[in-house]
Chain A
């Protein structure tokens, strides 16, 4: 059981270049998320998808776009990379409400370390 898989693991971009970070989960979760992690700031939510066919902005969406390709896959695109987007990016997925009520929490991928020069 692979859980949440992200590609690539490392990437260096030049300012202005574009790229897409890929994420796939095999846990049949409805909801998926993209976070970025910066030193001293914890993780901040960029975008999320509560269910297939829907996406919503999180705390720091500027400069990013997302696509929920199907239930398994949720991609993050940087159209014109900037040095401020140098970060570690994590994809996550979560279940929805259970019969006993919400349990909460999320499962995370291994991360993509992105450097923009």
Chain B
């Protein structure tokens, strides 16, 4: 079956540091890949996505590239801010079918950024 593995957290960084959160997946076919962000007390928000191999998703300074050869979708940001403190989830949805919100999630990575 499908599965997503994220790097263990929590991750603590100083403001303006470089961020990488690793994500690898196991899936049949060609899934779509996503990063969601959850701020304290809120629901999940879609941060970025990629729907095919070598696609790069980007949003708010965050980037992730769909690497089929390494089955990875690592999240990066060149300079984090205190406001980026949140929980980040990597997820995939299977290709085909009609339920594109049927997602398999990683366990989440807590990011804390200090001034």
Bound CA span A101–B43, Å: 27
Bound CA span A101–B96, Å: 9
Residues of chain B from 1 to 56 with CB closer than 8 A to chain A in the complex: 4, 32, 34, 36, 42-46, 49, 51
Q: Of A39-47, A60-68, A77-85, which binds chain B? A: A39-47
Residues of A within 8 A of B49 (CB): 103-105
Residues of A within 8 A of B107 (CB): 40-42
Q: Tell me whether A95 and B100 are in contact (CB under 8 A).
A: yes
If A42-B89, A43-B89, A102-B32 touch, whether A108 touches B43 (CB-CB below 8 Å) is yes
Bound CA span A32–B32, Å: 18
The reply on B81 being an interface residue by CB < 8 A is no
Interface footprint category on B: 20 to 34
Number of contacts between A and B (CB, 8 Å)? 88
If A105-B32, A111-B43 touch, whether A43 touches B51 (CB-CB below 8 Å) is no
A62 smallest CB distance to B (angstroms): 18
Residues of A bordering B, CB below 8 Å: 4, 30-33, 40-45, 48, 50-51, 58, 90, 92-97, 101-111
A90-B43, A102-B96 known, 18 other contacts, Cβ within 8 Å: A31-B99, A31-B102, A42-B108, A43-B105, A44-B105, A50-B98, A50-B99, A93-B101, A94-B99, A97-B98, A97-B100, A102-B100, A104-B93, A105-B32, A105-B103, A108-B43, A109-B43, A111-B42
